[in-house]
Chain A
Amino acid sequence: MDVFLQTLVAGILKGGLYALIGIGMTLIMGVMGIINLAHGQLMMVAMYITYVLHLAGVDPYISLFVAMPALFLLGCLIQRFLLNPLLKVDTILPENQVLMTVGIGMVLTEIIRFIFKSDYKSVSTGYSNATFFLGNISFSIALGISFIIAIAFTVAMFFFLIKTDIGRSIRATAQDKDAAVLMGVNTGRITIITFGLGSGLVAAAGCLLAPVYYVFPDIGGPFTARAFIITILGGLGSTVGAIFGGVTLGLAESFGATYISMDYENIIGMTIFVLVLLFLPGGFKRLTKI
């Protein structure tokens, strides 16, 4: 029973971070209609920012305030100069924007590898391995704090999407682009802001994961895959769905690691992914208007 509860809590805590990754991907999916296959690589860049700042003695939770704006800016630039121009060219390739994100992901990985080599780095802090007990169940303090911060960002994001004109314009553009243009929405600008926000959110996840994970150049790929799975689970384009998708994946990985084997973490995600595509093609549906 304790093992079960322990696994459950670990899965939910992880799920909170995955939700943050998934919401960013989902926003981009909703507005631009593309899967951002550089999502995990953007997170990896944020982890290296955290790592460098850590060498300078900065706490990962403080690095958030550097990495998020930096990745927001990087995301905006990518959309403005690499993705939006593709809309104007005739191409023989369908989905050329998606292919571009694949390329961006590779370039980011190789630039980081060039600078930092392929070594595993760790951003270990005093609390990286600290735990506290509630009854017989132990919690990772780092994951607990990360979870709370992830929830705070998620709530802030929803507030932004619902209560501000820019947030509403993002949702409107996702629902009907031409109608949004008629209402005076500069949809080009909205795509840039959206890619920036998606990158900023995944950067937050990167900073929050850094203390409990290793940092290495190829960490992006598996997280792009996770983001993709979460987005599909959530029903492509639903931010609330992405939260459910994130928590589901977190739980599945956690239970898989406990009851099957640590080695199968990635396989479990992919298995759920295939099962959802086969049996629940709409994902967890669009549960709400957001």
Chain B
Amino acid sequence: MLKVDAIDVFYGDLQVLWGSSFEVREKEIVVLVGANGAGKSTTLKTISGLLRPKAGTIVFDGVRLDRLPADRIIGHGVVHVPEARRLFREMSVEENMVMGSLAPEARKKRRETLAWVYELFPRMKERRKQAAGTLSGGEQQMCAIGRGLMALPRLLMFDEPSLGLAPILVEDVFNIVKRINKEGVTVLLVEQNVRQTLALCDRAYVLENGSVVLQGTGKELLADPHVKEAYLGL
């Protein structure tokens, strides 16, 4: 479904991704784990077009995403829930949701999708008139995920959805990810929370200094000596 092939990505002269490759198949949950600064966010930003690879290709269902302008990518069903939520803080929860459904297909189904998102997040319905910037951290994450769902994603990419949340909320967020996946949405999840995400994913890649160094099923990586030592503190 998504194939990222040998991408090199730079910030100015600084190279951050070095020939990084991986793929996500239909209906999977794939995680990209790695330490702070490994290049996880950079990878997602490149897929969603905010950054351009200097070399390599990104193909989604036969479409070269790396050749599309960033604002056209969401229309292909590739949706990015960015790091730190990036809500429109002065807009209401509902307006944020509406902003997720600008592409023609999503726009047509705006009402139904909104009803579905509110069913998934009853809390968001209660808060729908409230400015997004005044929500709590957990609610902001729900709002950001809801906004992403409004685009009718086929591939939903999450950038550290558990960041800054209390452990009990982290659990909630991962349950939501699983639930969304059960509804037929393919998931690419980026996390530093290695133990929990390896347990819930189908497959995983380990990113170190901008390159993929390990891959396998969640189980395989949980048992891997390097992963154990570097990420699980065993």
Are A179 and B82 closer than 8 Å at their CB atoms?
Answer: yes
Q: Mark A155-198, 1 if CB is under 8 A from B, else 0.
A: 00000000001001101100110111111111100000000000
Are B89 and A175 closer than 8 Å at their CB atoms?
Answer: yes
Q: A181-B71, A182-B48 are in contact. Are A175 and B90 (CB under 8 A)?
A: yes
Does residue B38 face the partner (Cβ distance < 8 Å to A)? no
Q: Mark B66-77, 1 if CB is under 8 A from A, else 0.
A: 000111111100
Are A184 and B95 closer than 8 Å at their CB atoms?
Answer: no
CA of A175 to CA of B99, assembled, Å: 12
Does residue A80 face the partner (Cβ distance < 8 Å to B)? no
Select the stretch in B27-35, B56-64, B100-108, B112-120 that faces chain A.
B100-108
For the residues of A in contact with B, the DSSP-based class is: helix
Are A171 and B50 closer than 8 Å at their CB atoms?
Answer: no
Q: Kindly list chain A residues whose C-beta atoms are within 8 Å of the C-beta of B92.
A: 289
Which one, B50, B89, B98, B147, contacts A181 given CB within 8 A?
A: B50
Does residue B54 face the partner (Cβ distance < 8 Å to A)? no
Which one, A171, A179, A184, contacts B86 given CB within 8 A?
A: A179
Does residue A54 face the partner (Cβ distance < 8 Å to B)? no
Are B95 and A183 closer than 8 Å at their CB atoms?
Answer: no
Instruction: Give 21 A-B contacts (CB < 8 Å), ordered by A residue.
Output: A165-B98, A165-B102, A169-B102, A171-B90, A175-B88, A175-B90, A175-B91, A178-B50, A179-B82, A179-B86, A179-B88, A180-B99, A181-B71, A182-B50, A182-B80, A182-B82, A183-B99, A184-B72, A184-B102, A185-B71, A286-B90
A169-B99, A184-B102, A184-B151 known; 18 new pairs, CB 8 Å cut-off, are A165-B107, A168-B98, A172-B91, A175-B89, A176-B87, A176-B88, A178-B82, A180-B88, A182-B48, A182-B50, A182-B79, A182-B82, A183-B74, A184-B74, A185-B99, A186-B69, A289-B92, A290-B90
Closest 6 CB pairs of A and B: A179-B86, A289-B90, A184-B74, A175-B88, A186-B71, A184-B102
Residues in chain B within 8 A of chain A (CB atoms): 48-50, 69-75, 79-80, 82, 86-92, 95, 98-100, 102-103, 107, 131, 147, 151
